[in-house]
A and B are shown apart, each in its own frame.
Chain A
Amino acid sequence: EVQLLESGGGLVQPGGSLRLSCEASGFTFSSFALSWVRQAPGKGLEWVSAVNRGGSTTYYADSVKGRFTISRDNSKNMVFLQMNSLRAEDTAVYYCVKDPLHHPRYYFDFWGQGTLVTVSS
C-alpha cells in the first residue's frame, strides 16, 4: 500500500522559514517523480514544486520560485520542501504527491494527508 506521510508544518512568522518532510513507503521510491501541491483554506489546489526520480531536475511554480527548494533522499525514501521568505499567501495545507512515472509531468496517483502551514504574525 502506497503511503505518503508529511511532517514539519506549523505556525511561522512572515519572512520565516520552514522545512517540510515526506516519508514514503509501499512503492519503489527511486523510480518515481514526487511533487508538492498546496491548498489554501477553503480554496482550490495549486501545484508548487516537483523533482524527478533521481533528484537532478527540479521544477517550481512562479509563485514560489527563488523561495522554495525541493529535494529528495532516495536512500531514506524521503522528499523535502525547504520554504524560505514565507508570506501570508503561502498559508495552506501542503500535500506530498506521487507522480505515476519518473518524470514529473503527469497526473498525481497518490496523495499524502497533508501538513498545515500557517504564516502569520
Chain B
Amino acid sequence: EIVLTQSPGTLSLSPGERATLSCRASQTVSDNYLAWYQQKSGQAPRLVIYGASSRATGIPDRFRGSGSGTDFTLTIIRLEPEDFAVYFCQQYGSSPRTFGQGTKVEIK
C-alpha cells in the first residue's frame, strides 16, 4: 500500500500568512489521484481538494493544490481564522485508499 508522509507535523502561523503543507507518497500516485481534507476540532473532515488541484464545491480560492507523482502541496495563500485546523492528504490512485497522518495548522 502507498504510505503518505505529511510535513511538517505542526505549522504555527498568523492570520494573513501563507501556509505550505507537504504530502509525499512512497510510490507514484496514479493519475495524480490525491485529495486534501480539512478537519476542525470535534468535527468530521471536509473535502478541500481532489485530483491534486481541483477545489471542492464551496472551497475558497485561497486554497491551492499542486504537485504530481510522489510530491504534493497544499497552499493556503492568506490564512483566515477559520482555516486553522488539521489537514490530511489521501491517495486514491491505488487500493487500499490511504491517508497521511495530518498537519496541524495552528495560530502562532
**A-side interface residues toward B, CB under 8 Å?**
44-47, 59, 61-62, 95, 100, 105-114
Q: Which of B81-97 contact A (CB under 8 A)?
A: 88, 90, 92, 95-97
**B-side interface residues toward A, CB under 8 Å?**
33, 35, 37, 43-47, 50, 56, 88, 90, 92, 95-102
Q: Please determine whether A44 and B44 come into contact, CB atoms closer than 8 angstroms.
A: no
Inside 8 A of A100's CB, which chain B residues have their CB?
50
Inside 8 A of B47's CB, which chain A residues have their CB?
107-110
Inside 8 A of A112's CB, which chain B residues have their CB?
44
Given the interface pairs A105-B92, A106-B92, the reply to whether A47 lies near B97 with Cβ below 8 Å is yes
With A59-B95, A108-B45 known, 12 other A-B pairs at CB within 8 A are A44-B88, A45-B45, A47-B96, A95-B45, A106-B33, A107-B35, A107-B47, A108-B37, A109-B50, A113-B43, A113-B44, A114-B44
21 example contacts (A-B, Cβ-Cβ < 8 A) are as follows A44-B88, A44-B100, A44-B101, A45-B45, A45-B88, A47-B98, A59-B95, A95-B45, A105-B97, A106-B33, A106-B50, A107-B33, A107-B35, A107-B92, A108-B45, A110-B47, A111-B44, A111-B45, A112-B44, A113-B43, A114-B44
A62 to B96 alpha-carbon distance, docked (Å): 9
A100 to B88 alpha-carbon distance, docked (Å): 18
A79 to chain B, nearest CB (A): 16
